[in-house]
């Protein structure tokens, strides 16, 4: 019996890989419609979540150092994050740790990174060039994200065309790519992983439409209610040099 996801989607062959996770061809058991299924294991998901934790840590902890926050000794937890060839030990403010401790949905799903991406898909739903979110949930040791099945990436097309595109093709693609990024920004988020691999063409009647995918590194850059840009804060590692310890194995 072929494995199923959410008792609704049949898992097929692997069709690609993302920065953190693998993409499989899937089929809706009820409608026989093909979809794309993204699986992220606990290791990959927590590593990518570490990126968000550290970014918030550097900005928030800098305020502690400047005296804008409470006592850092009373306000921090010791966290150990493994990262392939090395382990990093650093202090993380409790409000950052709340991302994993106080959010019941995060605890339940175990792998908060794909949960974060699924929430972004919901925020962006309805936008041109945004894949439809079909399902999100947990299956065993994996978080699972199901979206529309799309066509080749721009990197694939570029290689297929011997890495040479006509001026007309470049202009048509660029126009759509700019519109996708502009829509992303209109929702108060920066994608932060813009590259040909993350722009995919549609299929069938939408074969000429460009889609933008992979929102795992996206970050909010302005307040949704006031539309004011979130203040820039120093994230220079040098600012934290005396507070961050690296242990190499």
DSSP state of 222: B
Q: How far is CA 231 from CA 59, 189, 223, in A?
A: 10, 14, 10
Cβ–Cβ < 8 Å for 136, 109: no
Binding site annotation covers 56? no
Q: What are phi and psi of 180, to 5 degrees?
A: -65, -45
How far apart are alpha carbons 76 and 159 in whole angstroms? 49
60 part of the active site:
no
Number of C-beta neighbours around residue 92 at 10 A: 22
Paired residues of 146 in beta bridges: 37, 135
Residue 154: name the closest of 191, 193, 196 by CA: 196
Q: How many CA atoms does the CB half-sphere of 159 hold within 13 Å?
A: 6
Residue 119: partners with Cβ closer than 8 Å, 6 or more residues away: none
Among the listed residues 193, 197, 214, 223, the single catalytic one is 193
Calpha distance 141→22 (Å, rounded)? 14
Which residues are part of the catalytic machinery?
193
Residues annotated in a binding site for ATP:
38
């Amino acid at each position: 019996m072929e494995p199923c996801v959410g008792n609704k989607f049949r898992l097929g062959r692997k069709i690609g890989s993302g920065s953190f996770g693998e993409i499989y061809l899937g089929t809706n058991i009820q409608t026989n419609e093909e979809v794309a299924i993204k699986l992220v294991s606990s290791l990959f998901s927590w590593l990518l979540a570490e990126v968000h934790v550290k970014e918030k840590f550097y900005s928030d902890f800098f305020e502690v150092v400047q005296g804008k926050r409470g006592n850092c000794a009373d306000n921090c937890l010791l966290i150990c994050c493994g990262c392939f060839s090395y382990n990093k030990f650093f202090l993380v403010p409790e409000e950052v740790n709340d991302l994993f401790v106080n959010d019941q949905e995060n605890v339940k799903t175990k792998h908060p990174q794909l949960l974060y991406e699924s929430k972004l898909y919901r925020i962006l739903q309805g936008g041109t060039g945004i894949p439809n979110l079909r399902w999100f949930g947990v299956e065993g040791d994996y978080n699972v994200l199901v979206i529309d099945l799309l066509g080749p990436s721009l990197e694939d097309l570029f290689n297929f065309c011997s890495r040479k595109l006509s001026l007309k093709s470049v202009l048509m693609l660029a126009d759509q790519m700019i519109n996708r990024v502009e829509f992303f920004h209109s929702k108060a988020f920066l994608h932060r992983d813009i590259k040909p691999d993350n722009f995919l063409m549609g299929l069938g009647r939408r074969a000429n439409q460009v889609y933008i995918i992979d929102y795992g590194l996206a970050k909010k850059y302005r307040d949704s209610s006031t539309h004011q840009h979130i203040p820039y804060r120093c994230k220079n590692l040098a600012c934290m040099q005396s507070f961050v310890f690296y242990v190499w194995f």
